[in-house]
With several copies, the nearest count.
Chain A
Amino acid sequence: MPTAATFEIEYLQFLDADGSLVRNDLPAFARDTKQLVKLYQEMLMVRIFDGKAIALQRTGKLGTYAPCLGHEATYLAIGSAMQEDDVFAPSYREYGVQFHRGVKPRELLLYWGGDERGSNFSGPAHDFPWCVPIGTQCLHAAGAALAFKIRKEPRVAVCTIGDGGSSKADFNSALNVAGAMNLPLVAVIVNNQWAISVPRNAQTGARTLAQKGIAAGLECLQVDGNDLIAMRAAMDYGIKRARHGHGGICIEAVTYRLSDHTTADDARRYRPEQEVKDAWLREPLRRLKTYLMSLNAWTEEEETAWKEQCGRYVDAEVNAYLETKMPPVESMFDFTYAELPPDLVAQRSEVLAAEQAKSADRSAAAH
Chain B
Amino acid sequence: MAQITLIEAVTQALAWEMKHDPSVVVLGEDVGINGGVFRATIGLLEQFGADRVIDTPLDETTIAGITVGLAAQGMKPVAEAQFEGFIYGMLEQIICHAARFRNRTRGRMTIPAVWCAPWGGGIRAPEHHSEANEALFTNVPGLRVVLPSSPARAYGLLLAAIRDPDPVIFFEPKRIYRQYKEEVPDDGEALPLDVCFVLRDGSDVTLVTWGAQVKETLEAADALAAEGISAEVIDVATLKPLDFDTIHESVKKTGRCVIVHEAPRTAGFGAEISARLAEHAMYDLVAPVERVTGFDTHIPLFRLEMKYLPSVEKIVAASKRTLANS
Contacts and interface: CB of A to CB of B under 8 A. Distances in A.
Q: Do chains A and B touch in the complex (CB under 8 A)?
A: yes
Interface of A: 63-64, 87, 89, 92, 111-117, 119-120, 125-126, 128-129, 132-136, 138-150, 157, 162, 164-165, 167-170, 173-174, 176-177, 180, 195-198, 202-204, 264-265, 269-270, 326-327, 329, 331-333, 335-338, 341-344, 347, 351, 354
B46 interface: no
A326 B110 CA distance: 24
A203 B142 contact: no
29 contacts: A63-B302, A114-B303, A114-B305, A120-B107, A128-B72, A129-B109, A132-B129, A133-B85, A133-B96, A134-B86, A136-B65, A139-B61, A142-B62, A144-B72, A146-B69, A164-B57, A196-B34, A198-B29, A202-B55, A203-B57, A269-B35, A270-B34, A332-B304, A335-B102, A336-B298, A337-B142, A337-B166, A342-B241, A351-B295
A335 B296 contact: no
Nearest to A264: B37
Nearest to B71: A143
A332 B142 contact: no
Given A126-B73, A150-B52, A195-B58, A335 B106 contact: yes
Majority secondary structure, B binding face: loop
Contacts of B243: 342
A270 B71 CA distance: 29
B62 A173 contact: yes
Contact of B58 (A145, A167, A342): A167
A35 B92 CA distance: 41
Contacts of A203: 57-58
Contacts of A143: 65-73, 77
Contacts, number: 241
B33 interface: yes
Contacts of A148: 73
Contacts of B37: 196, 264-265
Interface in B273-309: 295-298, 300-305, 307-308
A216 B33 CA distance: 24
B89 interface: yes
B307 A63 contact: no
Given A133-B96, A332-B308, A341-B194, A140 B58 contact: no
B306 to A, nearest CB: 10
A148 B74 CA distance: 10
A112 B62 CA distance: 29
A134 B51 CA distance: 26
Nearest to B143: A337
What 7 pairs across the A-B complex have the smallest Cβ distances? A143-B69, A139-B65, A341-B241, A197-B34, A114-B302, A143-B66, A167-B57
Interface string B129-172: 10000000000011000000000000000000000111000000
B75 A332 contact: no
Contacts of B34: 196-197, 269-270
Contacts of B242: 343
Contact of A332 (B25, B64, B66, B300): B300
Contacts of B62: 139, 142, 167, 169, 173-174, 176-177
A147 B165 contact: no
Given A132-B129, A196-B34, 15 more contacts: A116-B106, A125-B108, A126-B72, A129-B101, A139-B62, A139-B68, A144-B69, A146-B54, A173-B57, A341-B194, A342-B194, A342-B241, A343-B296, A344-B297, A347-B296
Contacts of A136: 65, 92-93, 96-97
Max chain B C-beta neighbours (<10 A), residue from A133, A148, A331: A133
Contact of A180 (B57, B65, B166, B296): B57
Nearest to A262: B126
A92 B129 CA distance: 14
Contact of A147 (B75, B92, B97, B265): B75
B141 A326 contact: no
B23 to A, nearest CB: 9
Contacts of A135: 59
B303 A174 contact: no
Nearest to B35: A269
B56 interface: yes
A338 B110 contact: yes
B293 to A, nearest CB: 10
Contacts of B128: 132-133
A113 B303 contact: yes
Contact of B73 (A117, A147, A168): A147
Contacts of A89: 69
A136 B67 CA distance: 12
B266 interface: yes
B165 to A, nearest CB: 4
Nearest to A176: B57
Contacts of A164: 29, 57-58
B93 A139 contact: yes
Contact of B66 (A134, A139, A195, A344): A139
A88 to B, nearest CB: 12
B32 interface: yes
Contacts of B166: 337-338
Nearest to A340: B241
Interface string B229-269: 00000000000011111000000000000000000011000
Contacts of A112: 126
B110 A329 contact: no
B300 A169 contact: no
B262 to A, nearest CB: 14
A196 B33 CA distance: 11
A168 B55 contact: no
Contacts of A338: 102, 110, 164-166
Nearest to A92: B126
Given A338-B166, A344-B297, A119 B104 contact: yes
Max chain B C-beta neighbours (<10 A), residue from A115, A150, A336: A336
B33 A270 contact: yes
B124 A63 contact: yes
Given A139-B61, A338-B165, A343-B241, A147 B68 contact: no
